[in-house]
Every structure is written in structure tokens, then in C-alpha cells.
């Protein structure tokens, strides 16, 4: 079979482009350690705020001293709206939603995941010192553009001092928030 020269050139170019695009995905996934959020851990989306894992949102350490952040997304806020974590230390994020799908995105980092009602999304990453914007990158309703939070990454010594003196966060009133309750009409 005779293949015209131009046809061969274009076949070659298409194959090269496919390899380039696939390669860039592979480099992004492996090089930047990106992976899909876990869909293994489930949660009752109507009982998130009374669930032991998410009743108190925020940053906590486990018995082994590892740092975890527990975050709830709802139209149109992240709870809590401010997080403080230590720099250059792995932080494991656990996220869920009480209503619709949200996108948790820590801008200028590889910290990003979809947040779905009924599931606990989880990822672990480390940060350089600084202030980061957390945005919702999954359209969730009319107030979507206001759905933002702040991540403060401080030197580990400073963080440890602050956590030992920090009181348990005040969650009074949060139990009254339900998907239907205070956020109707998203
Ligand atoms: Cu959103």
C-alpha cells in the first residue's frame, strides 16, 4: 500500500502529539505527585457535623504526632475559614461536603481535591512557609466565588508553641447548620 508523503507526515505528527500530551499528564502525575482523591472512606452527608471525625473542624495531631486537617465544605464556606499548619511537615487533609460537590484547591500548591457529599477525600502534602489562598474550584452555586479560606504556613517551632496554648475551637452553633437549614437556595 502506498501512503502519500504528506499523509505520512501528518500520521507522524498526530502520533507525536499524542505522545507529548500523554507524557505531560504522566510528568504531572508522577513528578508533582498528583493523584485522584480517595473514594474509599464514606460518611453520612446529613450527619457530618455530628460525626466524630468532623464535629470539630481544624488542624489536629494524632498520637504519632502527624498533622491532620479536618475540613467541611458547604455552600458557600469552608469550615474552618482559616488554617494554621507547620512548614515542611506532611499535612494530611480530610475533607467532606454536607451538600453539593465542591473543589478544594490550595492555590500555588499541589494540594487539590474534589469534595463530594458522602465521601471523605484525603491527600497529604507539605508546604513552604507563607500564606495561601484556598479556593473552591468546582462551581457550586450563586455564592461560589465567595467560597474561599486561608492557609497560614508557619515555622514548625512557632506552630508547636501555638498549638499547645491554643484552646479547642468554639463549635457552638455549627450543629444547627444542615444542608437544608441555613443555606437554602444554592
Ligand atoms: Cu464552589
Residue 17 within a domain: yes
Query: Distance, CA 76 to ligand 1 centroid (Å)?
Result: 7
Same domain, 76 and 153: yes
**pLDDT tens by residue, 13-29:** 999 999 999 999 999 88
Domain CATH code at residue 75:
2.60.40.420
Q: Find, among 81, 128, 121, 63, the residue nearest to 97 by Cα.
A: 121
Query: Distance, CA 23 to ligand 1 centroid (Å)?
Result: 30
Number of domains in the chain: 2
Distance CA 12, CA 8 (A): 6
Range of the domain at 163: 45-176
**pLDDT tens by residue, 35-92:** 666 667 889 999 999 999 999 999 999 999 999 999 999 999 999 999 999 999 999 9
Distance CA 36, CA 30 (A): 12
Amino acid at each position: 500500500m502506498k501512503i502519500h508523503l504528506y499523509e505520512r507526515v501528518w500520521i507522524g505528527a498526530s502520533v507525536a502529539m499524542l505522545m507529548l500530551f500523554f507524557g505531560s499528564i504522566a510528568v504531572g502525575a508522577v513528578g508533582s505527585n498528583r493523584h485522584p482523591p480517595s473514594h474509599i472512606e464514606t460518611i453520612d452527608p446529613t450527619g457530618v457535623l455530628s460525626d466524630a471525625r468532623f464535629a470539630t473542624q481544624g488542624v489536629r495531631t494524632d498520637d504519632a504526632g502527624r498533622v491532620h486537617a479536618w475540613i467541611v465544605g458547604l455552600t458557600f464556606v469552608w469550615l474552618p475559614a482559616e488554617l494554621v499548619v507547620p512548614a515542611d511537615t506532611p499535612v494530611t487533609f480530610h475533607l467532606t461536603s454536607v451538600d453539593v460537590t465542591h473543589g478544594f484547591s490550595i492555590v500555588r500548591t499541589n494540594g487539590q481535591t474534589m469534595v463530594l457529599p458522602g465521601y471523605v477525600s484525603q491527600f497529604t502534602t507539605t508546604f513552604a512557609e507563607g500564606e495561601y489562598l484556598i479556593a473552591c474550584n468546582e462551581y457550586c452555586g450563586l455564592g461560589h466565588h465567595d467560597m474561599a479560606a486561608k492557609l497560614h504556613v508557619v515555622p514548625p517551632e512557632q506552630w508547636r508553641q501555638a498549638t499547645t496554648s491554643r484552646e479547642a475551637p468554639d463549635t457552638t452553633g455549627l450543629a444547627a447548620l444542615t444542608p437544608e437549614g441555613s443555606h437554602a437556595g444554592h
